[in-house]
Structure formats: C-alpha cells, structure tokens
Chain A
C-alpha cells in the first residue's frame, strides 16, 4: 500500500498523460462526467457516481467498427481503437461493471473491438466514502470499497489517498513516478477500514440479495412487472446508463461509395429490440421489464458462475422519468 498526497494527484495524472490518454471524473458545471483529464475540472470529492459509467471507453455509445467500399472487390478497413488509456476515479460499482463486461466480451467469443480498447486500458479505482440516495452496491457486494478488478485503488483519507496495488500494470505506474508516493502505514490501512464501515452506514437503498436469488425464479407471474411497466415511457434510459448492459445494434451508414458499419448501444425495453431476428420476443412492456431484471439477477448468474449482472450503482433509478425503481422491484420479488 502506498500514500499519495492529494496535492500530488494532479502531477501523478499529468505524469501518466505523457504516456497514456487519461480519463477522470470532471466537473462540468455541477455535473460529474468522465472526460479527458482537465486538472481545472478534476472531481475528487464528488459523492456517488458520474452519470454514465466509464463503460463507454471500452464499449462506446456509437462505435465505428469498420469501413468498406466496393472497388472491384471489397476493401475493408477495420477501426480498432488501441489508444493507451488510464482511467482514474472509477467507483467500485463501475469496476465490477467492467469485470462483468470482460466476461461477456472476452470469454466465449472475443470481441476484437472491445478487446482492442479494453486491453489497452488501465483501471484506477476510487472507493466511496459516502453513498448517494440510489446507491445499493453494499447489498450486491460490489462496494462501497472495491476488492478486485482494479490496477490501482484509491481511498480518500482526507489529506492523502491510500493507494492499493492490484496488478503489475498498476505497480508499474507507481514505480515510474515513485517520488510522488510514500509507503502507507498500518494506521492508514486501519483508517481506510474505519471509513469503509462508516460508508456502509450511509446507504439508504437496500435489497436482500440472498432472498432475491432464492425467490426470483418463482416471481415471473408477480403483478409487479405489469404494475411498474405501466409507467414506462420507453426512453431506454435504464439500459443506456447501466454499466453491465452490453446489447448493441449494428447499422450500415453509407455515404458516397463508402459504408461504415456502426455499433450502437441498444435497449431491451424497446419494442424494436432484436427486430433483426424478426421481432422482440417479449410482446408486452411487463415482459420486457421482467427480462431486464431476470437477465441481471437470474440468467447472468447462471451463465457466469454466479456473477450478478447488476452492480448496485442505482443509475437506472436516477435516470427513470417514470420512477421505476429496481430496488423496489427486487424487494417485491424477495417478498
């Protein structure tokens, strides 16, 4: 464990900037969003999470996959993004989100576009000392302090950050700017433990994951699906902000003699979802809502060795214009 004084954070990140593209949470007005490092906007003391997770650095909202044109034969140019990138300030929920996406995109079938981005990205986490209203990572077990899936992990101890090393790549970053770091003491580590306990007490949203897991299979005919789905205004927001939603649509965009194949985030809440396979197999909004929850809490764990497809970040609660609340639904399922 290392210590980095807060005044050394910007020099450290700017130092990384010599070798990497550095992304971090930034204040845009009063909003916090991940962006290209700008030390005048750097957000280190924000509570909760940036509106979107850093998922989009590996799986962008809109990604050009390749361009092709017909010039006698077919000429194809792939657009693999191999930018060397460090992302600082990733919350534990979002670290888990990336771990989950890695399972999806880098296991059975390796997605080359995702792999090109992800394998060139180093993840620097930032533990949460306080939860937002919608946060429920403590119920899922992904936070408020991270245990895995980071290269370095920062804990705000007040004047300094405690820095935990999670990988060789992370260690190397420290070694390159070793003069900025000092060794942590057991006192520092103890303080981090106290902060974690304190942080856990700040949560306002809870679910009983054990009960959810036990009961979800039998909850398919619960009235909760239709009741909640009746409010859905079909914005897709719950999918767009989700750190683990990985569904996409592919479109060909032709301009002149060139066609770009573009991949976009897609939403399972829309009627047109999976239309390329004829239709959305879930005919009603209630079934679509149920699918979203089942996918995360039943199908994903079945497929990925018990790993839940929900990070507990609560973004889908904040983003919903209809007030559809995943935690409320899960509590209904559990009971």
Chain B
C-alpha cells in the first residue's frame, strides 16, 4: 500500500491525513499524529468521507449538450466549442459579459489561475466564489477594523484561552478539530460563552448560554459593551495605545443598555451583563464566530462589532486573544488570498489601485480592467437582466448553495452559454452547455490554506479518473486556446508566481511547505510565518472602532409567514452534498433534509415528530420531515441546506449586505403547514 500525506478536502480546520492507495484506489485513511491540528484525530468526514473519489457517478469525459441531453465529447471538441462561444460573445458584447465562479474546494494554484484567466484572458474582473456566501462580511469587516480579514489566532491557541466566546458557530459539528480545542480548554477550566439561536452541543457544555434571536447579534454585542463600559471593565491602556474611534463607539453603545439589548435579543439582562463580565475580566479571551455572524444583511456590522468588543477589552494582538472567523471550506481562505474576488488581485491588492494593477499587468504582460467586477449574486442578477451572457463555473453548485434557487435557475437558464467544471454532474452542471470533468483532491498536487492561514500541501495520490484532468491544467489549456498562453509545468511553478506577486505569500515555496505548511503573512523566504496577527500593532496601524447600530433583518416574520427560518449544515454532510452524499456512512446518518421546530410550535401546528411538513416562503416551498426539538427558540425553525430534494435555498432570500453583498441565509420568513 502506498501512503500519501495530504490535506483534508472538507472544512477549514486543515487536518492532514495519509491516503492509503492500493491498485490505484484510495482504500484507507490514517490521520497524521505529528500534524499540529489533526494530532492523530479526525472528524467523521475526515475518516469516512472519501468514498466519492471512486464513485461510479464521477465525470470522466467532457460532455456537450445536444438538445436536452448530454453527449460525451473529446477535450478538443469541448474546448473548441467554448472558445467559439466565448469569442462570439466577446465580439458581440463587452468583456464584462462573461463571468467566472471560482471554487473554494479547489487549490490556491487553481484559484489563482482562475482569476488570472478572468482578468488576463477574458479581460474582466467578474470573478467571485462562495466566500461571498460565507465570509465576505469578515473580509470587509475585519479589514476595516484590523486591516486584515482573517482569523487572528492559530487554532492551537484556542486550547490555551481562559475565556472563549462563541457566537454563531456550531463549532464541534462544523469545525470539529477546533471544537476539540474548545473542549480541551473547558477541561482545563476555561469559561465558554455560547450565543446561538440553536442550543448546540457546546451550548450544553458551556458556562453560559445565550439564546439570542437570529439577526440580533449587534444588539447583543452592543449590550455587552455597554455593560463593560458601565462597569469600567474596558482596557483603557489598549484603547489609548492601539486604537482609534473609541468615543464614537462609546456614544453608540451608550444607547444599548442591558434592558434594551435584552428586549431586542430575548436574552435576559443579567446574562448579558454576566457575559460581558466573564469576557472582559480575562486577558486571555478569544471570540470565535462563523456563519451566524456573517450571513446577514448586517454581516459587516456584526463582524465589526465582534472586533469592537475584542479591542474594547484589549483581547486581540496577543497570544490566546483574538477574533476568529472560522472559514468553512477547505480552501475558502486561500481562494480569497489568491484573488478569486472581483475587487482584488492575490493578497487583497485592489484592482482599482493603479500601481498594483501595473505590477500585475507587467507580470502578466497584458492590459487589465480597472473596475471591480460583479459579485456572485450580482452575476446571477445580471444574467437575468441580460448584461451577462456566459458563465464558467468551476467546482460550485449554486443550484443548491445559493439563495433563492428558483431565481438562480432562471438566471442560469437565461445565459447564452454556460460551462461547468466539476467532478459530478451536479444540479448546476445539468444546466450547462459544456461540462468539463475536473478531478478530486486525491488526483492533483497543490495547496489549500486553512482557516488559521496555514498554507499546506495537497499531494496527488492517484491518477485522474478516465479522461478527467486536474482543474489547473484545464484552465491553462482553455486560456491558451483563447489566445492568452498559460504555460506551467506544475502547481509548484504556479505557487512561485503567486509568491512573486503576493506580499503575504512572498516567502512561500513548495520546498518550505513540506512540514505542515506556513501561516501567512510570510513575506520572505526567511520569514517563519505568523501564528497570530496584529502583534504590537494592527495591520492597518491603529485598530479602528467601527460602531454599528442594530438593524432588523431584511425579512421579518409576518402574519402570513410567522416563523424565522435559519439555515446551516449538519456535521455529517458538506455543502451541497455532491461528495458526502455518495458516502454510505454519512448518507446513513442523514439521508435527507429535515426541519427543526420547537416542540411547542410543532404541537401548535399539529405536526408530529417525523411527519412531513410543508415549509413555504415568499419564494418557494419544500416538503420535508419535521424534527421536534427543545433546542431551538419558539418561532424559529432550522433547515440544513445540503439536500437538493428539500433545498432550503428554495426558501431563502437573496437579500444582501450592502457592502459585502453576502446573502442573509440566517433569516427569512416562512410558514409551516402539514405536508
């Protein structure tokens, strides 16, 4: 048996394991004991989630749509058709009439090439990916307050914290090896505060649980800051030396007395005050947050408010203190880092900055567009309006993952031409004109960047299945045929180019990544990497207090739609289930979707546990089994979004944060009926 050490393809924890390969097939998994995060442990997806690699449903040849059906095609045919169509569209319309979706499942090298393809080959900044749907508000919010939109800590610091404030993160289910660190901290006596509309596993194990209303985060955090200032628990020295804008924060939060905060959030006043005391009295307090904070029309406000809380108490910029957005996908951090975003090149270098643009123009030997491109949801809107004519989607499945799927479907169908590159014929791929077979992480080399900014190797263990090709190879071949040559002999060579153009990755090369990677910023070949950010001073210099007032979610419950729907994931599946639903063990745990309803509400609705409920929003309806629980607030229901046959996103609304353009997956209004 051959063993190949690689990085897990599911969440952002960045665990390492060995793939055991026999007769060209992945047949076994061995967690790495010496890896700093895995430490010999994995979650169920890490242990069991890789059956999809050899699924008979894998795409192994390009497909071209003829009428309503696909036929198998050669690579030449597929490429020629794409080149013809893209050229036609570009001749007829403008460059910006084409857009690409990059992929947080793909490697850094592939994402880098995809944004280069959009910008240098197609001449458009219309490149985005699912970070828009998960942490766009983090990138903006933490960049505004701290100057850098990433997790400030290393994962292992969490186990050493004295206080961990978790808001909007079901950590043990969604980031299990970070959950591991929280559990270890609890064992060592750390106090954990959990704020979540659902009573998660950690909510049951923590010192203080706050069940706040979905979308009331700013009011809760402002209430805590109000109490901190009222009791003089703020860190005056830190505020004076390291921050600016404190007076405006003070002014804003003055209005959020515990009483007011309680009225908005439904959290008892004394709990708000207690949380404020616990968090601020420790000098080793860490904030962990995830989608519960970011996926709101107030996502950026929510993020900035967590940063305000950390700065107010001096709990950032030192070991065991910080603000930790947990990135969901294996490489969503990296896809952002290498510029698969419409407004920045790799390393968050703005496309609007002439000097930076010139740098890339010189390196890429091409003139680059100066205006930021469209964000993901905007692309779909433009498709429906007709200004966007073609899309090239790599490794994403918006037909399940994006809000308001009925709208997504109309938008994709309105396109003149759609190319989808994936490993399965997903719900999105079935709408494509051409489907290109990419490969799984086991079939290619590259790097993923984990949520703690750790750039790690992905190593090829088996040959690509059938005629499929590594995604980076496909992008280079397509680009070259479209007239912009891309010649790379290996992903290592692509990384060398990334390092040359990207200050935060400046010291990264494959030879340096052998022993479990490097944490950016790593500006030079002799730089050891950065375990935690903002030591001594913030990336932007002074930390900027950025106060926000509470704003209600975009869609509130009404007479016709009396429940708040909040969406999320279960620990056994990943996103749109294209991979995990091919695995017997994971599928056996959760074979389909369900709606979680407070037991009193269920009783009132007259729908019993296990019976079918119809859930209806202004945009669509789905039928699924009802799960009656006591772990969710009355008036709130939860649906996991993995399951196409009961797609939560048929119900959600594409209401966006005005700055980050992230949709409000966490709040929309629905009604329930007996199904």
Contact = CB atoms under 8 A, between A and B. Distances in A.
Interface of A: 28-33, 35-36, 51-52, 56, 60-62, 230-231, 233-237, 240, 249, 251, 253-256, 264, 266-267, 270-272, 275, 318-323
Contacts of B173: 233
Interface string B27-40: 11111111000001
B42 A235 contact: yes
A61 B28 contact: yes
Q: Which 7 A-B pairs have the closest CB atoms?
A: A272-B588, A30-B34, A321-B180, A255-B56, A61-B28, A321-B41, A62-B27
Interface string B391-433: 0000000000000000000000000000000000000000000
Max chain B C-beta neighbours (<10 A), residue from A235, A249, A256, A272:
A235
Contact of B5 (A29, A60, A267, A319): A29
A272 B589 contact: yes
A51 B34 CA distance: 11
A38 B40 CA distance: 22
B215 interface: no
Contact of B201 (A32, A35, A51, A233): A233
Nearest to A254: B56
Contact of A61 (B27, B179, B183, B184): B27
Contacts of A236: 44, 47-48, 585
Contacts of B33: 30-32, 51, 318
B187 interface: yes
A323 B183 contact: yes
Interface of B: 1, 3, 5, 18, 20, 27-34, 40-44, 46-48, 56, 172-173, 176-177, 179-180, 183-184, 187, 201, 204-205, 515, 571-572, 584-585, 588-589
B571 A233 contact: yes
Nearest to A36: B1
28 contacts: A28-B5, A31-B30, A32-B33, A52-B30, A62-B28, A230-B204, A230-B205, A231-B205, A233-B176, A233-B179, A233-B201, A234-B572, A235-B176, A237-B42, A249-B584, A249-B585, A253-B56, A256-B56, A270-B589, A272-B589, A275-B588, A318-B41, A321-B42, A321-B43, A321-B176, A321-B183, A322-B183, A323-B187
Given A33-B3, A61-B29, A323-B187, A234 B44 contact: yes
B61 to A, nearest CB: 15
A120 B201 CA distance: 46
A323 B190 CA distance: 15
A173 to B, nearest CB: 23
A335 to B, nearest CB: 20
Contacts of A322: 172, 179-180, 183
A267 B42 CA distance: 14
Contacts of A28: 3, 5, 18
Contacts of A270: 44, 585, 588-589
Contacts of A275: 588
Nearest to A256: B56
A56 B204 contact: no
B515 A60 contact: no
Contacts, number: 110
Contacts of A272: 585, 588-589
A14 B28 CA distance: 25
Contacts of A33: 3, 18, 30
B186 to A, nearest CB: 9
Nearest to A56: B28
Contacts of B30: 31, 33, 51-52
Contacts of A271: 589
B41 A237 contact: yes
Contacts of B3: 28, 33, 35
A35 B1 contact: yes
Contacts of B201: 230, 233
A264 B5 contact: no
Given A30-B34, A236-B44, A275-B588, 7 more contacts: A230-B205, A235-B41, A264-B584, A320-B41, A321-B42, A321-B176, A321-B177
Contacts of A240: 47
A15 B56 CA distance: 41
Contacts of A249: 584-585
Contacts of B31: 51, 319
Contacts of B41: 235, 237, 318-321
A59 to B, nearest CB: 12
A35 B42 CA distance: 20
Contacts of A318: 33, 40-41
A177 B180 CA distance: 49
A174 to B, nearest CB: 27
Max chain A C-beta neighbours (<10 A), residue from B18, B34, B201, B584:
B584
A245 to B, nearest CB: 13
Nearest to B589: A272
A322 B187 CA distance: 10
Contacts of A32: 33
B387 to A, nearest CB: 44
B199 to A, nearest CB: 12
Contacts of A61: 20, 27-29
Contacts of B29: 61
Given A31-B34, A321-B177, A321-B183, A234 B571 contact: yes
